[in-house]
Amino acid sequence: MVNKNFQYKLIALDLDGTLLKDTKDISKKTVKYIERLKKNNIEVVIATGRSYYHGKKLIEPLNQDMIILSNNGSIARHTSNDEVIFANYLSKDKAKIIIDEALEHGFHPILHVNEFHDGYDLIIENHPEDSRYYGYMSKENVRFKKFKFEEIKYTNILSICIAGDFTTLEFFRKKITKKYPKVFNSFTARNLKIRALLEFLDIKGCKWEAVHRYAQSKGILDKEIISIGDDNNDIELLKKSGLGIAMINGTEEIKKAADKVTEHDNNNDGVIFELEKYFKIGNDF
């Protein structure tokens, strides 16, 4: 049941650079505060660019059922049973457009797929240590399979990513957007350990669309949503939420898009310090 005593009814939180410290853990203060929010019937959802598998692992300290809108909102699941609530896949034709264009321009695409139960989340053509992935495949516990793209079935593709230089990727993104208007949702994130990451999704595949869709299912209005993020894949989410908050450690682009910026960074409970201003639910930290 939604709590009617607060102006905001749903909180959408990014993971990396927002809820998580740089060490990829969650503070005890944050764990306790989110538990209290949920006990007060405030909806708290995770909106992350990560795969569901990694998102679920990272929020284990919360120790409760959560909704994860993973792969930048392309797919939503309950952590209690891994049930898919909804998903937005790239069609075969759209996926082939991006793959063919990327290869033609000398890029090396990384396919994010919904194969959670089969033990992998990514499809690549080359060796994971290939320098042309710019370290993207060197992350811990990467679950992938190596196929030639002409051999795959083109089903369950959530997004297609390309790692590289920000300026080069942005030029390519704008070129594709102009050539195929209103076909893809795309953005280039740069608040990352790698240089930059360009991602193409279905036109309905984005964090905002997922948060909006979930909120509607709970009878929550857009103006009753708070969203907090740190990178360019959060821009639309922050712009369209009732209150969009950028992390002080975020990109300049996200700060410009936000209604306000946190006083503290992700390593110093920036999320909780901000939420405490809107939810007077006590603290015994």
Q: Average pLDDT, stretch 256-270?
A: 97
Contacts of 114 (CB under 8 A, 6+ apart): 75, 84, 87, 89, 156, 158
Please answer whether residues 40 and 255 qualify as being in contact, where contact means their C-beta atoms are separated by less than 8 angstroms.
Answer: no
Host domain of residue 155: 92-202
Instruction: Quickly list H helices, 16-120.
Output: 28-39, 52-58, 92-104
Of 202, 223, 244, the domain-final residue: 202
State the total domains in the chain.
2
Beta strands of the chain (E only): which ranges? 10-13, 43-47, 67-70, 75-78, 84-87, 110-115, 120-124, 144-146, 157-163, 184-189, 197-202, 225-229, 243-246, 260-261
- Indicate whether 114 pLDDT > 80: yes
Q: Residue 5 has what pLDDT? A: 59
Q: Are 8 and 225 within 8 A, CB to CB?
A: yes
- What CATH number did the domain enclosing 216 receive? 3.40.50.1000
pLDDT in tens, 128-159: 999 999 888 887 678 999 999 999 988 899 99
Distance in angstroms (rounded) separating the CA atoms of residues 235 and 230: 9
pLDDT of residue 138: 80
52 and 111 inside one domain: no
Of 106, 119, 171, the C-alpha closest to 145 is: 119
Judgement on whether residues 29 and 169 belong to the same structural domain of the protein: no
Q: Please classify residue 60 by burial: count the beta carbons closer than 10 Å to its beta carbon, then call 0-12 exposed, 13-18 middle and 19+ buried.
A: exposed
Would residue 4 count as lying in a domain?
A: no
Mapping DSSP to helix (H, G, I), strand (E, B) and coil, where does residue 70 land? strand
Cβ neighbourhood burial of 209 (10 Å; 0-12, 13-18, 19+): buried
The answer to whether residue 165 is domain-embedded is yes
Residue 277's φ and ψ, nearest 5 degrees, are: -75, -20
CATH of the domain at 197: 3.30.1240.10
pLDDT score of 153: 86
Assessment of whether the complete model's pTM goes beyond 0.85: yes
pLDDT tens across 211-261, in order? Answer: 999 999 999 999 999 999 999 999 999 999 999 999 999 999 999 999 999
Under a CB-based contact definition with an 8 Å cutoff, are residues 242 and 8 in contact? yes
Evaluate if residue 194 carries a pLDDT over 80. Answer: no
Check whether residue 198 and residue 211 sit in a common domain.
Answer: no
Q: Is residue 285 part of a domain?
A: no
Residue by residue, what is the 3-state secondary structure of 130-176? CHHHCCHHHCCCCCEEECCHHHCCCCCEEEEEEECCHHHHHHHHHHH
